[in-house]
Chain A
Amino acid sequence: MSGGLRYRACRLRVQTQKGEYGTEVEFREGLNVVWADNSMGKSTLMNALLFGLGLEGMITAKHIVPFAHVMTDRLDTGDGEVAVVASEVLLEIENGRGDVVTTKRTVVGDDDHRLVRVYDGALLTAGARPGQSRSLYARMAHSARREAGMQHFLAQFIGWRIPEVATFRGDPAPLYLETIFPLLFVEQKHGWGAIAGSFPTRFGIRDTAQRAFEFLMALDSTALQARRAELEMQLRELASEWKGSALALSAALASGGGQLTGVPGAPEHPWPPVVGPVVRFPHKGELVPLPLAIEQLEAELTELESGPVATAGQARAEALAELGRLQEQLVARERALGTAVRHHAAAESSVLSVERQLKEVVRGLARADDARKLERLAHERDLRTSSGACPTCGQAVTESLMVVDLAQFEALSLDDEVKGLNDRKKMLEFLLQAARADLGEADQEMAAMREEDAALRRRIRVLKAESLDVDAAPSASRVQRRVELVRQLGQARECRRQFDEVSNVLERLAGQHATLSGELKRIPSDTLSEQDRAKLAQIEARFIDGCRAFGLSSLDPAELEISRTSFQPEHEGFDLQFDLSASDTIRANWAYKLALLDVANRATTNHAGALVFDEPRQQSASKTSFSALIRRSEVVCRTGGQVIIATSEAWDNLAPTLEETLCHLVKFEGRVVTRR
């Protein structure tokens, strides 16, 4: 085990109008049994362990304290009820390095319940005086990533390096502690429903149970998954840099009159491709490849510079012919510019329209997301509407309250509605990309045309002036042509310089992209290392042993397996849950969790070494099985670890087993929370 967590003590303090109530419990290494009769506050104590760790989000998505009224509202003293004025939980924990801290968290009182004060030292068992404390926050955004977050602190305290894992949203997220603890803490209400545990899904982590198992048992696939998430992130960053560079180049070229084509939206390898990107440059009224434009401009300039400058008289006839030609050209170009302006306006309006629609769909999706939350709330509250029934007459109701009669049509379910909205969003994003490309082209086209028009007008002005010049004067049109050539050549060379510069960047990005993509492809998606297989074989053997010891009878335990892909128990390739009776599901849950702890004692894992079972005798698992659980837990703890079992099993049944077992017993004769 590389990580470590031990519960050392827990104190509940409840201040009422009639004085202080509470309880304090110490836990030891090995097996701990907490006994109290039903409804005496045992689960309050167990939930306090989670609350003290700031992990109650494992059992509830709501931002409320997970306690019964005894800690929050009123307390039954036996003589009547008294109002709770203030209450808090103190939890003393130790890690694998022997560091001890005590956490203190308010349930009711002046402090916000999301605030956790963490004191160094054993405030409960050694009576250390509270010294310097850290104030951390729990159940708030970023609690897992930031130093001031309780999750961040707890992970460091236990010695866990929390991996980043893939989410349904596409971006990686930390493997939140609430998704790991279901394998370490079986809570009474939610923990017994599934063999591996009930894993919160609200974090959007893909295959949550699988990721939690891989991490806890330190399977090599965890590191691979982490590397995969890291690579995917780096690839996204590279793609974004690529796109940024291409756009910047395109804009820079456009300002100089050039036009870029052939740069894809995402990195491609090999780069440059056989048919690489091309820059076109306006020359003599048309767009020609940049190297050709430079070559022709240079040749023309050389020719002009090679001889003496002609006089206006020598150049007049040629100038007048050119003037006529250019004036005709200008009229045609003005018409073309009008068309280009209209095209640009249409492209702009198209982008705006798609952006508006996309905004609506995104808003619709957010609302649908809220609606789904309301649907879940309605399910939790058992509202009949949530199951499609009329709350008054019980008849089926449609998915709509619209006045129009939908009875003859089938309305889309909320999930399908969301799917439809997502499809629409994708389509609009696609259209937006196309519309923006159109607009980009229109921009470039207009910029190029304006640039050429300006040059044309300059030339016409000069030619007109020259027609009125005296014959002996130097030809202004030839001089202007030379100046114009120098300017165009300067622009063309600048375009070439920028293109070469960005080409190098693109080449580097394409190379990096190819390397990272290659590595990503080589990461096996489901392959386990030899050590992983050995670990899983050990877990499987101990799981089968445990099931046998606990009297699992729905199936022959020897036929059970631990899946090499989902890491959950299965039978003949099917999820075990469907083949077991309710009480056997409980037995399998005991066996699974104990098997993990047992293997963690012998192999390198991230298991915290502590396991909590709150009321494990669910679904009337037999007396014999329960005794076997106590005995087996004790045996597992002999090699290390801590198991806490909270139970209200009939004392007469429990006592004989406890007599034969080495365990630390915490027995409450009456209520757990009593007068102090």
Chain B
Amino acid sequence: MAEPVERPSIDAEVEFSDRGISVPIEYRPVWMLGAMSVLLWKCSHGAKSSVERLEVLDWAVASTRNTDLLLGHLRAGDSEVAMRLSVRGTVRRAVAVLVGEGLAERQGGTRVALTSEGKKWAKDVWEALSPRDLLRVNAERIQKSFTEGAMTSLRRIR
């Protein structure tokens, strides 16, 4: 049997400590505040949207595949593209925080709109995101193509 050409060795000290639960960045309040405001600002006409539509957008920007599916659906019409959406409950909570911070306001029913302060925040967030971040890349691909009308057609399919 051949001997290894080069094998790393562990020389680090082992350290034991209590640690909390690891929470994915996408579930953290500050991130979601930023993500929701970006989705409202960049992907919603008049910076307003139904919360349901935000749920779909949040799912769509989570991966390149999801964005492909949503855009494929929008291009192909009703049900020619198979899409299975997994919706996170965090969006509703994030919207509540966004409203609480005065960055968005509710507009009757389940619609929500960015306030002028919220638009400034969204712009700052957009500039802070690295150019290769999935949220930024996918939001840029979707732009405002996913309308409330398209959301209604999605709801019908369901």
User: Which residues of A approach B to under 8 Å, CB–CB?
Assistant: 62-63, 246, 250, 259-261, 263-265, 287, 363-364, 366-371, 373-375, 377-378, 381, 383-386, 390-392, 397, 399-403, 406, 409-414, 416-417, 420, 430, 433-434, 437-438, 440-441, 444-445, 448
Are B8's CB and A265's CB within 8 A?
A: yes
Are A63's CB and B101's CB within 8 A?
A: no
15 CB contacts below 8 A, A to B, read A62-B124, A62-B127, A246-B5, A263-B6, A369-B130, A391-B97, A391-B101, A391-B102, A392-B100, A399-B29, A401-B27, A401-B90, A411-B21, A417-B22, A437-B8
Chain B's closest residue to A397 (CB) is B29
Most buried by B among A370, A409, A433, A438: A370
8 Å CB interface, B23-46 against A: 23, 25-34
Residues of B within 8 A of A386 (CB): 30
- Complex-state Cα separation, A260 to B20, whole angstroms: 46
Residues of B within 8 A of A366 (CB): 130, 132-133
A378-B33, A385-B101, A390-B100 known; A371-B4 Cβ under 8 A: no
Are A263's CB and B121's CB within 8 A?
A: no
- Complex-state Cα separation, A403 to B27, whole angstroms: 10
Q: How far is the CB of B59 from chain A (nearest CB, A)?
A: 15
Q: How far is the CB of B55 from chain A (nearest CB, A)?
A: 13
B60 within 8 A of A: no
Are A265's CB and B6's CB within 8 A?
A: yes
Residues of A within 8 A of B25 (CB): 364, 367-368, 371, 414, 417
Chain A's closest residue to B133 (CB) is A370
Are A410's CB and B21's CB within 8 A?
A: yes
- Complex-state Cα separation, A589 to B115, whole angstroms: 41
Residues of B within 8 A of A401 (CB): 27-29, 32, 90, 93-94, 97
Are B22's CB and A437's CB within 8 A?
A: no
Are B128's CB and A370's CB within 8 A?
A: yes
Q: How far is the CB of B25 from chain A (nearest CB, A)?
A: 5
B129 within 8 A of A: yes
Are B21's CB and A412's CB within 8 A?
A: yes
- Complex-state Cα separation, A385 to B134, whole angstroms: 23
- Complex-state Cα separation, A375 to B93, whole angstroms: 18
Are A430's CB and B10's CB within 8 A?
A: yes
Are A374's CB and B30's CB within 8 A?
A: yes
Residues of A within 8 A of B94 (CB): 401
Residues of A within 8 A of B33 (CB): 374, 378, 383, 385
Residues of A within 8 A of B19 (CB): 412, 416, 420
- Complex-state Cα separation, A430 to B7, whole angstroms: 10
Chain B's closest residue to A369 (CB) is B130
B2 partner, pick from A259, A363, A381, A417, beta carbons under 8 A:
A259
Interface residues on B, range: 35 or more
Residues of A within 8 A of B8 (CB): 265, 430, 433-434, 437
B125 within 8 A of A: yes
B1 within 8 A of A: yes
B80 within 8 A of A: no
Q: How far is the CB of B93 from chain A (nearest CB, A)?
A: 5
User: Which residues of B approach A to under 8 Å, CB–CB?
Assistant: 1-8, 10, 19-23, 25-34, 88-90, 93-94, 96-97, 100-103, 121, 124-125, 127-130, 132-134
Are B1's CB and A261's CB within 8 A?
A: no
- Complex-state Cα separation, A475 to B26, whole angstroms: 76
- Complex-state Cα separation, A116 to B148, whole angstroms: 45
Residues of A within 8 A of B121 (CB): 377, 381
- Complex-state Cα separation, A375 to B29, whole angstroms: 10
Q: How far is the CB of A495 from chain B (nearest CB, A)?
A: 15
Most buried by B among A385, A386, A409: A385
Residues of B within 8 A of A403 (CB): 88-90
Are A260's CB and B23's CB within 8 A?
A: no
- Complex-state Cα separation, A441 to B1, whole angstroms: 9
Are B100's CB and A391's CB within 8 A?
A: yes
Nearest 5 interchain pairs by C-beta: A391-B100, A410-B20, A403-B89, A392-B100, A373-B128
Residues of A within 8 A of B100 (CB): 384, 390-392
- Complex-state Cα separation, A441 to B5, whole angstroms: 7
Chain A's closest residue to B94 (CB) is A401
A402 partner, pick from B10, B27, B34, beta carbons under 8 A:
B27
Chain A's closest residue to B22 (CB) is A412
A369-B130, A391-B97, A441-B4 known; A374-B34 Cβ under 8 A: yes
Are A444's CB and B29's CB within 8 A?
A: no
Residues of B within 8 A of A397 (CB): 29
- Complex-state Cα separation, A263 to B4, whole angstroms: 10
Are B125's CB and A437's CB within 8 A?
A: no
- Complex-state Cα separation, A401 to B1, whole angstroms: 53
Are A384's CB and B101's CB within 8 A?
A: yes
- Complex-state Cα separation, A366 to B25, whole angstroms: 10
Q: How far is the CB of B144 from chain A (nearest CB, A)?
A: 23
A385-B97, A391-B97 known; A374-B125 Cβ under 8 A: yes
- Complex-state Cα separation, A663 to B43, whole angstroms: 58
Q: How far is the CB of A448 from chain B (nearest CB, A)?
A: 7
Residues of B within 8 A of A411 (CB): 20-21, 23
B23 partner, pick from A381, A384, A392, A399, beta carbons under 8 A:
A399
- Complex-state Cα separation, A264 to B130, whole angstroms: 38
Residues of B within 8 A of A444 (CB): 2, 5
Chain A's closest residue to B26 (CB) is A367
